[in-house]
Each structure stands twice: as C-alpha cells, then as structure tokens.
Amino acid sequence: MASQILPLELIDRCIGSRIWVIMKNDREFTGTLLGFDDFVNMVLEDVTEYETTPQGIKQAKLNQTLLNGNNICMLIPGSSGPDS
C-alpha cells in the first residue's frame, strides 16, 4: 500500500524549490517558495509574473511577492513555468 501525502505536506516539501503557480485570473507566477500558511497564502522570491493579454503574454520580474491562497488555481512543483 502506497503512503499518502496530504496536500499541505506536499507544499511544505516544496519550500526552497521552484514552483509554478497558476492563478484564477489570467496570471501565472514562477519563483522560489519561501513559505505558506494554512490558507495557502504563499511568499515567493526571484519571481517572474506572466500575464495573458490580447496582445500576448507580458512578463515582469519581481524580487518577492505574496500570493493570496483564495486566488490560486493550480501549483506545479519543480517547474519553471510556461517557458519550459
């Protein structure tokens, strides 16, 4: 029987590594996960923000950002984002 990993345990194992976060709106973020809380609010560093617009995908670089867990749609551990 395989051991089960709870979702928050999986996120906890990702601290210090790269993660791709897809939001409910037209934004995506990649960065190094510094930490999170019980509501899955996340702090990322060395962040690239991707915003989908009618003109294409806009990128912005950020030192750090705080993401609201209510707006997170999907987490992809170990990924470098849509460019990879």
Interval 1-29: pLDDT, tens: 567 888 899 999 999 999 999 999 989 99
Compute the 3-state secondary structure of the chain and give helix, strand, coil in percent, each to the nearest 5: 10, 55, 35
| CA 1/CA 38 separation, integer angstroms | 28
Please give the pLDDT value at position 2.
Answer: 63
Ordered by start, the domain boundaries in the chain are 18-77
Query: What is the tens place of the pLDDT at every residue in 28-68?
Result: 999 999 999 999 999 999 999 999 999 999 999 999 999 99
Q: 18-77: what fold?
A: SH3 type barrels. (2.30.30)
